[in-house]
Amino acid sequence: MTGNFCSHCGNAVSPMAAACPQCGHPVATQQATGQPIGQPIGQPLANPYAPAKSRVTAGVLGIVLGGLGIHKFYLGKTGLGVAYVLFFWTYIPAIIGLVEGIIYLTQNDQDFATKQGVRVV
Ligand SMILES: [Zn+2]
């Protein structure tokens, strides 16, 4: 991708930026998301190199097997998953996993992708 220039002030703008950092003017980029101009600024584009995960699968795993951190392992957060396993006996991971699973299921795909650093499939 080539660089963009703000149509308002002429400042060079990163192709990833949704708006000019200089004047805040929205920049018409080659966005694949089809996000209309005027949306909240600062929404990163989906990382095409992020691992592809299913939001629903992660949510169900969190609810059913959250006590063992299976949803964390699924999302590639192995270190966190291990912590869930270590504290399994306290039942706290099960509660956190249940809540996280519900959050995943109620989140939209974009929020989930942004927070988890994945591509939603
Ligand atoms: Zn500008």
Tell me if 35 sits within 8 A of 43, measured CB to CB.
yes
CA angle (31 as vertex; 28, 32 as ends), nearest 5: 150
**Listed residue (40, 39, 10) closest to 23, CA to CA:** 10
Q: Residue 68 is which amino acid?
A: L
Tell me if 54 sits within 8 A of 120, measured CB to CB.
yes
pLDDT greater at residue 34 or residue 55: 55
CA of 43 to the centre of ligand 1 (A): 18
The Cα 73–Cα 80 span in angstroms is 8
**Listed residue (45, 42, 18, 40) closest to 29, CA to CA:** 18
pLDDT of residue 34: 52
CA of 45 to the centre of ligand 1 (A): 20
CA of 21 to the centre of ligand 1 (A): 7
CA of 47 to the centre of ligand 1 (A): 25
Structure tokens at 21: 């950092």
Strand pairing class (119-120; 12-13):
unpaired
| 23 pLDDT above the threshold of 60 | yes
Average pLDDT, the chain: 86
CA of 5 to the centre of ligand 1 (A): 8
Residue the block writes with tokens 């951190």:
69
Highest mean pLDDT: which range of 9-23, 41-55, 69-83: 69-83
CA of 7 to the centre of ligand 1 (A): 7
Min mean pLDDT across 2-16, 28-42, 77-91 is at 28-42
CA of 42 to the centre of ligand 1 (A): 15
3-state secondary structure of 18: coil
pLDDT of residue 42: 55
| 94 pLDDT above the threshold of 80 | yes
